[in-house]
Structure 1
Amino acid sequence: MSIKNQIMADLKQAMKDKDQDRLRVLRSLKSKLLEREISERKDGEASLSDEQAVEVLMKAAKQRKESIEQFEKGDRQDLADGERAELEIIESYLPEMLSEDEVRDIAQEKINDLGAEDMSDMGQVMGIMMQELKGKAEGSLVSKIVKDELS
Structure 2
Amino acid sequence: MSLRDTINNDVKEAMKAKDTKKRDALRLLTSAFKQIEVDERKDLSDEDVIKIIQTQIKRRNDAASQYKDAGRDDLMQTELDEIAYYEVYLPKQLTDEELESELKSIIEKVGATSPKDMGKVMGAASKELAGRADGKRISTYVKALLA
Question: TM (normalized to structure 2)?
Answer: 0.92
Q: Tell me the CA shift for residue 89 of structure 1.
A: 0.3
- On the 8 A contact 1:68/1:80 being kept in 2, the answer is yes
What is the Cα-based RMSD across aligned positions, in Å? 1.4
In the alignment, the residues of structure 2 paired with residue 148 and residue 75 of structure 1 have an alpha-carbon distance, to the nearest angstrom, of 34
Aligned to 2:104: 108
In the alignment, the residues of structure 2 paired with residue 135 and residue 49 of structure 1 have an alpha-carbon distance, to the nearest angstrom, of 13
In the alignment, the residues of structure 2 paired with residue 118 and residue 31 of structure 1 have an alpha-carbon distance, to the nearest angstrom, of 43
The letter for the 1-side match of 2:57 is A
Q: Tell me the CA shift for residue 2 of structure 1.
A: 0.9
Structure 1: state its 5+ residue gaps.
none
Q: Tell me the CA shift for residue 39 of structure 1.
A: 2.8
The letter for the 2-side match of 1:37 is E
The ranges of structure 1 where at least 4 consecutive aligned residues each deviate by more than 4 angstroms after the TM superposition are: none
> What secondary structure does 1:136 align onto?
coil
Aligned to 1:144: 140
Aligned to 2:56: 60
Task: Indicate whether 1:21 and 2:28 are aligned.
Answer: no
Aligned positions, number:
147
Deviates more, 1:72-81 or 1:55-64: 72-81
Question: TM (normalized to structure 1)?
Answer: 0.90
